[in-house]
Amino acid sequence: MPMRTTIEKIVAKTLAADIHTHLYTPEFGPQLQLWGIDELVTYHYLVAEQFRFCSLKPEQFWAMSKEQQADHIWKLLFVDRAPLSEACRGVIAVLKAFGLNTSAPDLKEARAFFRAQDAHQHIGNVLKLAGLTEVVMTNDVFDPKEVAVWESGVRRDPQFHAALRIDPLLNDPAVGKKIAADSGAPDEVTAARKFLDRWIERMKPLYLAVSLPPSFQYPEDSLRGRLLRDVIFPTCKANNLPFAMMIGVRKRVNPALVDAGDSLGHADTSVVERICLENPDNRFLVTMLSRENQHELCVAARKFSNLMIFGCWWFLNNPSITREITTERIELLGASTIPQHSDARILEQLIYKWAHTRRMMVDVLDEAYRALAEDGRVATEKEIQQDVEQMFRGNFQQWVGGGRRNPVAALG
């Protein structure tokens, strides 16, 4: 069988684990568990794009109901013109996957289709279509909607893992003070430690996570610096949990756009190196948002085997860029990376985001194994299978599975 056909077959049939999503099960309630055509079409990536093609003011857009927003975006981005962007093509790919009209003049047919689905069965179908074994949620313990669900003792779906997300604690000094005041603890550090211990016990997360600005520094004489050193790293170590750092987001550069108003910036990769060096017994999962950080991050992972790079995050999740970054990672790190996560916020996005990842992986691996063959070694089908399994699921399982791991000893 020609090599590309073998790679296509393996990539298509190898199941993946999705290490970072914003998805929930129905038990979390309709405000958190998003699915269906109106949510798909009003995805915040598309909210940002529709402002490129009309003169609506943000306040006029937000004044519309969800259905009105979806109708408006559908007409503007999908009917009046070809839906060219990555986020637009994603909606088209989802419609196609369910046999729905991708050139529909309106959303009637799609609405009827999604309304007719049983929520639990639909989740199963979507995971199957996306080729996934499991997904990791993003559980914000500072969101009262989530807190209420967790405190009610929510039933855990084994395919949906928790990740304890702590952005407000690390990015807003007022939050640390409030936790201390609420708990009567003498200081933020003591209060935060107790707070996290309680949530780890309740949530049983696979990892702790934070998103950080490009200006992120460590060590630093700030509350964030102290919390990282005295609370986060020791807590993760004591509980044998990785710490995920998602670095490079500039929040609300255009606040009126809400979630669609965030941007990115080049961050300092030496901070990641320092953290890995000073905490050799901790495991770190790192993704960076700026394309300009990617090469440095690969080199950092060659130096520190407690660093696992994951995903082409958010604005990077476009085929031209994922291809470049994944090629670079494989050239520098072999299969010792987690090439992609979906970041899906709406259930059915799993279908297109993973289809696009698989398409990209075939191209990247085809080139990599072809180069290897030209240099004198034809990889066997078994070897290709092993690499794809490691990148799609093995690195995830070992990294979050509690075991100290070393995918490939530091490469020098």
Q: Binding residues for ligand RAT, per CB under 6 A?
A: 22, 138, 211, 246, 259, 314, 343, 345
Q: Which stretch binds Zn ion (CB under 5 A): 39-47, 76-84, 322-330, 342-350?
A: 342-350
Nearest of 158, 168, 221 to residue 199 by alpha carbon: 168
Cα–Cα distance between 234 and 2 in angstroms, integer? 50
In whole angstroms, the minimum distance from the beta carbon of 258 to ligand RAT comes to: 10
| Partner from Zn ion, ligand RAT, none contacting 211, C-beta within 5 to 8 A by type | ligand RAT
Cα–Cα distance between 89 and 129 in angstroms, integer? 17
Residue 262 as a binder of Zn ion (CB under 5 A): the answer is: no
Helices 349-374 & 381-389 angle (0-180, nearest 10): 140
Identity of the residue, 37 or 163, whose beta carbon is nearer to ligand RAT in the bound complex: 163
Q: Which residue is nearest to Zn ion (CB)?
A: 343
In whole angstroms, the minimum distance from the beta carbon of 407 to Zn ion comes to: 23
Cis peptide before 219 (omega within 30 of 0): yes
In whole angstroms, the minimum distance from the beta carbon of 384 to ligand RAT comes to: 30
Q: Which stretch binds Zn ion (CB under 5 A): 69-77, 170-178, 195-203, 336-344?
A: 336-344
In whole angstroms, the minimum distance from the beta carbon of 341 to ligand RAT comes to: 9
Identity of the residue, 74 or 160, whose beta carbon is nearer to Zn ion in the bound complex: 160
Amino acid at 126: V
Q: Which residues pair with 338 in a beta bridge?
A: 310
Among 39, 262, 343, 348, binds Zn ion (CB under 5 A): 343
| Partner from ligand RAT, Zn ion, none contacting 72, C-beta within 5 to 8 A by type | none
| Partner from Zn ion, ligand RAT, none contacting 109, C-beta within 5 to 8 A by type | none
**Exposed/middle/buried for residue 247 (C-beta within 10 Å: 0-12, 13-18, 19+):** buried
In whole angstroms, the minimum distance from the beta carbon of 249 to ligand RAT comes to: 6
Cα–Cα distance between 204 and 405 in angstroms, integer? 20
Identity of the residue, 245 or 335, whose beta carbon is nearer to ligand RAT in the bound complex: 245
In whole angstroms, the minimum distance from the beta carbon of 44 to ligand RAT comes to: 6
Cα–Cα distance between 398 and 408 in angstroms, integer? 12
Q: Torsion angle, CA of 396/400/402/405, rounded to 10 degrees?
A: 40
Which pairing describes strands 16-18 and 249-250: parallel, antiparallel, or unpaired?
A: unpaired
Question: Rule CB under 5 A: which residues touch Zn ion?
Answer: 343
